[in-house]
Amino acid sequence: MNKDHFDRYFSERYDLIDPVIDSVMGGEEIISGSLVSKSDSTQSTMIVDGLPRFVEMENYGDNFGIQWNKFSQTQLDSSRGGWVSFDRFWHFTKWQPKELYGKRILEVGSGAGRFTEIMLAAGAEVVSFDLSSAVEANRKTNQEKGDVLFFQGDIYNIPFPDESFDFVFCYGVLQHTPDPEKSFKSIYGKLKPSGKISIDWYMKYSRPNWWSTPKYLWRPITTKMDPKKLLKYVEWYIPLWLPIDTLLKKTIPRIPWIGHIILGLVPIPCYNFLDPNYAQRKQVAIMDTYDALGACYDYPKTLDELKDMVVKYPHQEVDVFCGSNGLVANLTK
């Protein structure tokens, strides 16, 4: 966090105590120190490695910290080439780049920063946080790409006053929190009147079948495993199973029942739509399988359930539809 960001975002509510400041590229980077609440001096937040840490560094999001620090470049358009994240962001939020220029955006659950770089490229002023240490990977990648503040924080205790942001962006997050509806209420509160929020959500099928979502067969076991051991296990079996899985998915039209049963026993996404580079497909398969099996919480919703949740909040416009990771809800406050 640089000194300018402290002055802009925190100086009214916090005192900066014992800072260690490093002069970088003409600016002042706060490497360590603490933020002490002006209203309650017993409440303090440590700055560690340049990041305010409003939560314990180890928490229920640890698996995501492991994931995104290991696969920090895998989803970035700037690293792998192409426009996958760019297209997904603009297509599903339905925002326009000119809307974001100079506006303040709260990014909830940044991961490694695949969408952070999209917003910064549009000229937005971004405040990006994650519960896990994934925010460290995002900071390394995107801290020089624009006006961005990073911190490690809790979705239920976001350290900014209500109605502080023009936009709120939250993809791949809410279904992984202990109380998703409380989580949405928290981030909605940070949005200014006439501001826009875009969220996505895993889809819950009205007539579920275990072979289409095999992760739910294994999650009662995998969520109890040590996250680092789970990753090693996934890294071991994915390279062995990926060729078989790819073949089965191509032959399902000829052997539907047998193919579905076998696929339902082994959780793995297949990415034949990606570049034919096998190494890339394997890396993404490992990353997303670990993501599916390791998250402590996973609460999908039907389209109607998501719509019922968001329309309860005051809005000018609301749009709920299928897309992104399953479902998308866009709302104008």
The pLDDT of residue 241: 86
Please give the share of the chain, as a percent, with pLDDT higher than 70. Answer: 90
Spell out the domain ranges in the chain.
1-53, 56-203+303-332, 215-294
Give the Cα-Cα-Cα angle 206, 299, 156 (nearest 5 degrees): 145
Q: How many Å apart are CA 228 and CA 245, to the nearest integer?
A: 24
Q: Is the pLDDT score of 317 beyond 80?
A: yes
Which residue is associated with the tokens 């739509």?
273
Task: Retrieve residue 321's tokens.
Answer: 């539809």
Q: pLDDT-derived band of residue 242, with 50, 70 and 90 as boundaries?
A: confident
Task: Retrieve residue 19's tokens.
Answer: 């800072």
**Tens digits of residue pLDDT in 35-94:** 999 999 999 999 999 999 999 888 999 999 999 999 999 999 999 888 999 999 999 999
Q: How many Å apart are CA 183 and CA 157, to the nearest integer?
A: 10
**Tens digits of residue pLDDT in 250-302:** 766 566 566 666 666 777 765 554 555 778 888 888 999 999 999 999 999 99
Please give the share of the chain, as a percent, with pLDDT higher than 90. Answer: 76
Which secondary structure element, helix H or strand E, spans residue 107, and what is its range? strand 104-108
CA 104 to chain centre: 18
Q: How many Å apart are CA 263 and CA 208, to the nearest integer?
A: 15
Q: What is the CATH number of domain 56-203+303-332?
A: 3.40.50.150
The pLDDT of residue 177: 98
Global confidence as pTM = 0.93
**Tens digits of residue pLDDT in 89-119:** 999 999 999 999 999 999 999 999 999 999 9
Q: Is the pLDDT score of 207 beyond 70?
A: no
**Tens digits of residue pLDDT in 123-177:** 999 999 999 999 999 999 999 999 999 999 999 999 999 999 999 999 999 999 9
- Give the chain's mean pLDDT: 91
